[in-house]
């Protein structure tokens, strides 16, 4: 039984915690005495605690994030009641800043802030030798990346078969966007490329086909980017019937021709790019220290959409200091015109330690005191309007980002995407009082009613596009607004390949 348990609560089972695997790989002589235990938010705290304490470990290390801090706090509180002799060590971004203000930090025995790869191992060696460091807060030491043991052998065969495999070719970020914790890095550090490619080769040989890069700036150094893209291209070209899926985060205004040429060679379904635009407003960009050439970023997005088969997931953030609804709406409409596959409509959050906090008083930023610390209001957007934007984001996800309404969405958006979808969002909320758990058939009926009652479309015209979308994605229910002689829906066996919406198909792959 393990003396040391490394654990966390993931957002979903499919997410394997890369950080825990770094910690175990770097435990040195104590690695064999350790084990990784992963759970999912929403699990009963007592059940998690029971599994953690199996075998009576001496040390429990918990990775704490913005999405699991509340449940992890309850877990630590119960653990210290049931087994006070167990040493609890915390780490992760949520407890790397403002430790004095957090109940979870008060409950724990030690907190390792920042980089924990070698600092956690040092603490474990001291504790196992019977030495208890006096300092509760331990500042993580940042070693050269070449000195950090590779974590990828810690992925199990089950991980390889069933979960996202997170990998990183670099750490840090050279940009200073104040809403992001990576602003504190001020630079990026690259892992030794040859060793990293060898790790990818090993994972691929074990059967891994889904890779999610956590690098903040994958395309920062083009030679490195090309080497990694070349690795995956080589696999795809050698075995075209054995698909690979790779996720990267791209800098939007840095896409040299050599990189374009490589990206254009990838087949459909192989690449996903997460691209952070966040805001198109130059004044807001300057205010939050974000350097972005908007015209270049727009041109690159247009090129990617027109010339590649990569899936484009683009982020915008509402609630940035000084940005009002009109400015955000203009940026949203600009992005819709570029036609990415998904627009992630995010609401600003105050991450602990992020420099965005310096604008709190000047711009009247009012954040929720509870995780995930979402902005509630600012001097540019009052609380009521912010709640409308929150609902907009949720409805946008289930309608636009779902991939189920490719024919209907252009009709809904018309020539004023933000205004028209906000009207839909307000109407849906007034009609249903909910932005979650809308049954698919009910949503189709609601969209039809909105198009007819509010937007003035003919019932048949609105029904045609909705039913085509519904049937194309496997729906079989006959709606009241369909004409009696409408063709019946095909049986599930008759569905054609590729009928699954692109977003869902990607999720099935990844």
Q: What stretch of H or E contains 59?
A: strand 59-63
- Indicate which CATH number applies to the domain containing 250: 3.80.30.20
Structure tokens at 199: 């790790």
Cis ω for the linkage preceding 223 (within 30 of 0): no
Average pLDDT over every residue of 470-477: 92
- Gyration radius (Cα) of the chain, Å: 25
- Which sign, positive or negative, has the C-alpha torsion 287, 291, 294, 295? positive
Least confident residue range of 39-53, 171-185, 316-330, 357-371? 171-185
408 located within any domain: yes
Does residue 496 carry a pLDDT above 90?
no
The pLDDT of residue 499 is above 60: no
Please determine, for residue 507, whether its predicted confidence score (pLDDT) is greater than 60.
no
Statement to judge: residues 169 and 140 lie in one domain: no
Do 138 and 176 fall into the same domain?
Answer: no
Instruction: Classify 319 as helix, strand or coil.
Output: coil
222-238 and 193-205 helices, crossing angle to 10°: 20
Structural domain tally of the chain? 3
Query: Among 17, 21, 20, which residue's Cα sits nearest to residue 152?
Result: 21
User: Are residue 98 and residue 24 in the same domain, yes or no?
Assistant: yes
Between CA 387 and CA 21, with CA 71 as vertex, the angle to 5 degrees is 110
Q: Within a domain: residue 297?
A: yes
Q: Which structure tokens are listed for 101?
A: 């203000």
Q: Which residues contact 493 (CB under 8 A, 6 or more apart)?
A: none
- Pick the last residue of a domain from 347, 381, 415: 381
How confident is the prediction for the chain on average, in pLDDT?
Answer: 94
Co-location of 320 and 469 in the same domain:
no
Question: Does residue 412 lie in a domain region?
Answer: yes
pLDDT (tens digit per residue) in 159-171 = 999 998 999 999 9
Q: Has residue 489 got a pLDDT over 60?
A: no
Query: 485 lies in which domain range?
Result: 403-510
Higher pLDDT, 490 or 485: 485
pLDDT confidence of residue 183:
87
Read off the pLDDT of each residue in 51-77 and give the average, rounded to a whole number.
Answer: 97
Task: Taking residues 241-253, report their average pLDDT.
Answer: 96
**188 in the same domain as 278:** yes
- Residue 282 vs residues 47, 160, 502: alpha-carbon distances, Å: 50, 43, 33
pLDDT of residue 495: 41
| Residues 323 and 411 grouped into a single domain | no
**Cα torsion for 505, 506, 508, 510, to the nearest 10°?**
170
Q: What pLDDT does residue 491 have?
A: 52
Do 229 and 177 belong together in one domain? yes
**How far from 14 is each of 30, 164, 213, 510, CA to CA, in Å?**
27, 6, 15, 9
Do the domain assignments include residue 415? yes
**Most distant CA pair in the chain, distance:** 81
Residue 503 has φ and ψ, to the nearest 5°, of: -65, -40
> If pLDDT is split at 50, 70 and 90, which confidence band does 493 have?
very low
Contact residues for 251 (Cβ-Cβ < 8 A; gap 6+): 217, 219, 220
The DSSP string of 372-392 is T-BEEE-SSS-HHHHHHHHHH
Q: Are residues 138 and 171 in the same domain?
A: no
Can you tell me the mean pLDDT for 355-364? Answer: 97
pTM assigned to the model: 0.92
Q: How far apart are CA 46 and CA 225, in angstroms?
A: 45
Coil, strand, or helix at residue 227?
helix
- Percentage of the chain surpassing pLDDT 70? 95
- Nearest-angstrom CA–CA distance, 465 and 215: 40
Residue 408 shares a structural domain with residue 370: no
In a domain, 280, yes or no: yes
Is residue 497's pLDDT more than 60?
Answer: no
Q: What is the pLDDT of residue 129?
A: 96
Is position 209 within any domain?
yes
Do 67 and 170 lie in one domain? The reply is no
Does pLDDT of 483 surpass 50? yes
Beta strand residue intervals within 264-410, DSSP E: 271-278, 311-318, 342-347, 366-367, 375-377
What SS3 class is residue 35? Answer: strand
Residue 507 resides in a domain? yes
Of 349, 381, 413, which closes a domain?
A: 381
> What span, in angstroms and rounded, lies between the C-alpha atoms of 310 and 12?
25
Report pLDDT digits (tens) over 184-229. 988 999 999 999 999 999 999 999 999 999 999 899 999 999 999 9
List pLDDT tens digits, range 80-89. Answer: 999 999 999 9
Report the alpha-carbon distance of residue 64 to residue 91 in Å, rounded.
Answer: 6
Domain boundary among 86, 111, 144: 144
Does 369 fall in a domain?
A: yes
Tokens standing for 361? 């008083």
Do 409 and 346 share a structural domain? no
Q: What is the CATH number of the domain that holds 33?
A: 3.40.50.280
Q: What is the pLDDT of residue 486?
A: 63
121, 172: one domain: no
How far is C-alpha 281 from the geometric centre of its chain's CA atoms?
24
User: What DSSP character marks residue 61?
Assistant: E
Chain centroid, CA 373 distance in Å: 16
Tell me the C-alpha distance between 208 and 201, whole Å: 9
Which positions ≥6 away from 365 have C-beta within 8 Å?
319, 321, 348, 350, 356, 359, 375, 378
Give the closest residue to 115 by CA, choosing from 171, 55, 71, 159.
Answer: 171
């Amino acid at each position: 039984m393990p003396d040391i348990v490394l654990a966390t609560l993931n957002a979903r089972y499919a997410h394997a915690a890369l950080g825990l695997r770094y910690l175990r790989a770097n435990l040195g002589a104590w690695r064999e005495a350790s084990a990784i235990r992963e759970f999912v938010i929403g699990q009963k705290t007592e059940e998690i605690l029971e599994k953690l304490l199996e075998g009576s470990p001496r040390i429990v290390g918990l990775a704490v994030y913005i999405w699991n801090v509340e449940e992890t706090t309850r877990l630590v509180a119960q653990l210290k009641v049931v087994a006070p002799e167990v040493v609890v060590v915390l780490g992760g971004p949520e407890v790397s800043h403002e430790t004095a203000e957090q109940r979870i930090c008060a409950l724990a025995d030690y907190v390792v802030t920042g980089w924990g790869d070698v600092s956690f191992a040092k603490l474990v060696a001291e504790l196992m030798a019977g030495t208890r460091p006096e300092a509760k807060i331990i500042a993580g030491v940042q070693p050269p990346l070449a000195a950090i043991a590779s974590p990828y052998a810690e992925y199990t065969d089950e991980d390889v078969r069933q979960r996202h495999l997170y990998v990183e070719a670099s750490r840090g970020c050279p940009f200073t966007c104040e809403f992001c914790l990576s602003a504190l890095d001020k630079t990026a550090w690259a892992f030794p490329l040859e060793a990293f490619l060898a790790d990818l080769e090993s994972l691929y040989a074990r059967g891994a086909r889904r890779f999610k890069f956590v690098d903040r700036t994958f395309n920062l150094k083009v030679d490195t980017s090309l080497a990694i893209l070349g690795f995956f291209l080589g696999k795809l070209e050698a075995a075209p019937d054995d698909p690979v899926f790779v996720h990267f985060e791209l800098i939007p205004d840095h896409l040299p021709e050599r990189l374009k040429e490589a990206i254009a060679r990838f087949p459909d379904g192989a690449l996903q790019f997460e691209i952070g635009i966040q805001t198109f407003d130059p004044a807001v960009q300057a205010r939050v220290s974000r350097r972005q050439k908007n015209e270049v970023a727009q041109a690159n997005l247009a090129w990617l959409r027109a010339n590649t088969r990569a899936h484009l997931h683009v982020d915008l953030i509402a609630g940035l200091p000084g940005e009002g609804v009109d400015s955000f709406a203009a940026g949203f409409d600009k992005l819709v015109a570029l036609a990415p596959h998904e627009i992630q409509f995010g609401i600003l959050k105050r991450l602990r330690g992020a420099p965005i906090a310096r604008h709190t008083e000047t711009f009247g930023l009012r954040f929720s005191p509870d995780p995930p610390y979402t902005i509630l209001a600012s001097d540019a957007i009052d609380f009521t309007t912010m709640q409308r934007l929150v609902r907009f984001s949720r409805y946008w996800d289930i309608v636009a980002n779902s991939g189920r309404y490719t024919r209907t969405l252009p009709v809904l958006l018309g020539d004023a995407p933000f205004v028209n979808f906000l009207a839909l969002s307000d109407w849906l909320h007034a009609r249903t009082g909910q932005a979650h758990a809308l049954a698919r058939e009910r949503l189709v009926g609601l969209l039809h009613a909105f198009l007819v009652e509010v937007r003035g479309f003919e019932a048949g015209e609105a029904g045609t596009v909705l039913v085509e979308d519904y049937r194309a994605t496997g729906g079989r229910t006959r709606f009241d607004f369909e004409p009696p002689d409408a063709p019946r829906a095909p049986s599930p066996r008759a569905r054609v390949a590729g009928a699954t919406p692109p977003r869902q198909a990607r999720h099935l792959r990844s």
